[in-house]
Amino acid sequence: MLINPLTKNIGADDTALDLGAYRNNDGYRGWLRALRMSPEKLIDLVQKAGLRGRGGAGFNTGFKWSFVPGDRQAQPVRYLVCNADEMEPGTFKDRLLMERDPHLLLEGMMIAAHAIGATTAYIFIRGEYHRAAKVLENAIGEAEQAGLLTPETTGWEQPLRIYLHRSSGNYICGEETALLNALEGKRAIPRAKPPYPQVSGLWGRPTVVNNVETLCNLPHLVTQGADWYRQLGRGEDGGTKLFGVSGKVNKPGLWELPMGTPVREVIENHAGGLRDGLTLRGFLPGGGSTDFLGPQHLDLPLDYDAVGKAGSRLGTGTITVLDEATCPVGLVLNLSRFFARESCGWCTPCRDGLPWVVHILQRIENGEGTMEDLELLREHTIRMAPGNTFCALAPGAAEPIQSALKLFEQDFVDHIRGKACPFH
């Protein structure tokens, strides 16, 4: 039984698979199988498999596709967009897939395009991912030259066009409607919803936006079936996931593991545990915009619902560890600087609130803070909570702050009373 569908083609070297090697390793079998299925059956298959979006939201992929209007004659122009604007702090999973197995992504995009009836697709890639862009451009050229995207192969009335679009480098472009605005050449700001992109997206046409890792799940899911996919997970969520670990561990990196793998197994078995002499104080389970969890959560299964019930989010599944020799105030300050810089400036709590958070945290880190500053920080996290902002950037930025104030409040107090950072 295939247990590592995402990384089965990725070896120890740094060479991306070309089309010939990919085909020799059962590449594009999922695509051929998908072509023999109606779009409705394909959507139903993905929905039953329980594939949840790997970009952070965790929404059921097949369910998302089902919102696209069914009457293809009434709305013949549809778009598929691959969100490859990977800028979440601590996250590096999509880069691995794009650089080392580009045809897996292309095959997944072809399957998704068939499901929603799209004949134009875009890969919206982070501007700094120069190597990944070059590898993908080569792979798209190979697919076109081999005739994989022609009407003779797809059975459509026109070829499938896949374009690579370089992002301008803004974190906000990871929000799907801001991404669509940027793709249209507009200012990258979120759109009001509804209407949702599946109904009115790119240039007002039905559009589906899926993450790189989400799309890479599709070829083997379609080939092996929904039951096989669900059995790969250890809990309610099916499939495997790319889990990463960064921080002061012995072997920082990225591994494909079953959904529901415990945190302890990822950190201790795969990342080699913390460096000698260091003790774990907490960790961000899914990138820089998730809440801290503590050592008591080491046996927590890494799936969407379990992490949610524990008070955080699985997010992108990339763990950042915090040890007792690292200042939590400085860590949160560093994250807040990033989010403040990346705000699109569209709504007040984000545009004005995040710079104030940075100012307050910097004051505390410098030993110039007061106890009132802690209440100001808590107030800001409330004002930036979901429902008070236009998109999820500010609420995500507030998560590590509010959780740090709960778990590491004494560290903030020590900064204030000692009038210096005790970790320096």
Residue 204 has φ and ψ, to the nearest 5°, of 75, 10
Angle at alpha carbon of residue 128, lines to 127 and 130, rounded to 5°: 95
Give dist(CA 300, CA 415) in Å, integer: 31
d(CA 251, CA 258): 19
Whole-angstrom distance, CA of residue 312 vs CA of residue 315:
9
Q: Are 237 and 227 in contact (CB under 8 A)?
A: no
In this prediction, residue 77 has a pLDDT band, given cuts at 50, 70 and 90, of very high
Residue 138 has pLDDT above 80, yes or no: yes
- 163 — phi, psi (to 5°)? -115, 145
Residue 61 has pLDDT above 80, yes or no: yes
Phi-psi region of 204 (alpha: psi -120 to 50; beta: other; left: phi over 0): left
pLDDT, average across residues 25-39: 93
For the whole model, what pTM was predicted? 0.95
- pLDDT higher than threshold 70 for residue 66: yes
Give the position of tokens 């950042």: 320
pLDDT band at residue 12 under the 50/70/90 scheme: low
What pLDDT, on the 0 to 100 scale, is given for residue 222? 97
Q: What is the pLDDT of residues 365-385, one digit of tens each?
A: 999 999 999 999 999 999 999
Do the beta carbons of residue 302 and residue 261 sit within 8 Å?
Answer: yes
**Best CA proximity match to 327, nearest among 414, 388, 215:** 414
Check pLDDT > 80 for residue 411: yes
pLDDT, position 145: 94
From 114, 94, 106, select the one nearest 46 (Cα to Cα): 114
Can you tell me the distance from the alpha carbon of 117 to that of 138, in angstroms, rounded to the nearest whole number? Answer: 25
The pLDDT score that the predictor gives to residue 139 is 97
Q: Confidence class of residue 404 from pLDDT cuts 50, 70 and 90?
A: very high
pLDDT digits (tens, 9 = 90+) for 41-58: 999 999 999 999 998 888
Provide the CB-side half-sphere exposure for 2 (13 A, CA): 20
User: What single string gives the DSSP state of each residue in 246-270?
Assistant: ESSBSS-EEEEEETT-BHHIIIIII
71-77 LR contacts (CB < 8 Å, sep 24+): 72/117, 75/205, 75/206, 76/117, 77/120, 77/205, 77/206
- As a whole number, the mean pLDDT across the chain is 94
Q: Given CATH 3.10.20.600, say whether it is the number of domain 233-323.
A: yes
**Residues 11-27: what's their mean pLDDT?**
86
Q: pLDDT digits over 295-351, tens only? A: 999 999 999 999 999 999 999 999 999 999 999 999 999 999 999 999 999 999 999
- For residue 16, pLDDT beyond 90: no
Structure tokens at 4: 């590592």
For residues 422 and 392, what is the distance between their CA atoms, to the nearest angstrom? Answer: 33
Residue 156 banded pLDDT, cuts 50, 70, 90? low
pLDDT at 180 over 80: yes
Residue 178 phi, psi (nearest 5): -65, -40
- Dump pLDDT digits (tens) for 224-266: 999 999 999 998 899 999 999 999 999 999 999 999 999 999 9
Tell which residue, 86, 43, 80, has the closest CA to residue 202: 80
Measured CA to CA, the distance from residue 413 to residue 148 in angstroms comes to: 62
Q: What percent of the chain clears pLDDT 70, i.e. is strictly above it?
A: 98
Residue 169 pLDDT: 75
What pLDDT score was predicted for residue 424? 80
User: Which residue bears the tokens 């080569």?
Assistant: 138
| Segment 350-360, tens digit of pLDDT | 999 999 999 99
| Average pLDDT value for residue range 287-297 | 96
What is the domain partition of the chain in residue ranges?
A: 19-231, 233-323, 328-418
| CB-based contacts of 235, cutoff 8 Å, min separation 6 | 259, 260, 301, 303, 306
> DSSP character for 172?
G
Integer Cα distance of 134 and 129 in angstroms: 9
pLDDT of amino acid 210: 97
19-231, which class in CATH?
Answer: alpha beta
Instruction: Specify the DSSP element, H or E, that contains 79.
Output: strand 79-84
What confidence score (pLDDT) does residue 348 get? 93
Please tell me the distance from the alpha carbon of residue 93 to that of residue 98, in angstroms, as a whole number: 9
The token duo for 8 is 């089965």
- By residue count, the chain amounts to 424
Q: Which residues does 415 contact at the CB level (< 8 Å), separation at least 6?
A: 329, 364, 365, 367, 369, 421, 422
pLDDT (tens digit per residue) in 92-122: 999 999 999 999 999 999 999 999 999 999 9
Q: What is the CATH number of domain 328-418?
A: 1.20.1440.230
Q: What angle separates helix 371-383 from helix 353-365, to the nearest 10 degrees?
A: 160
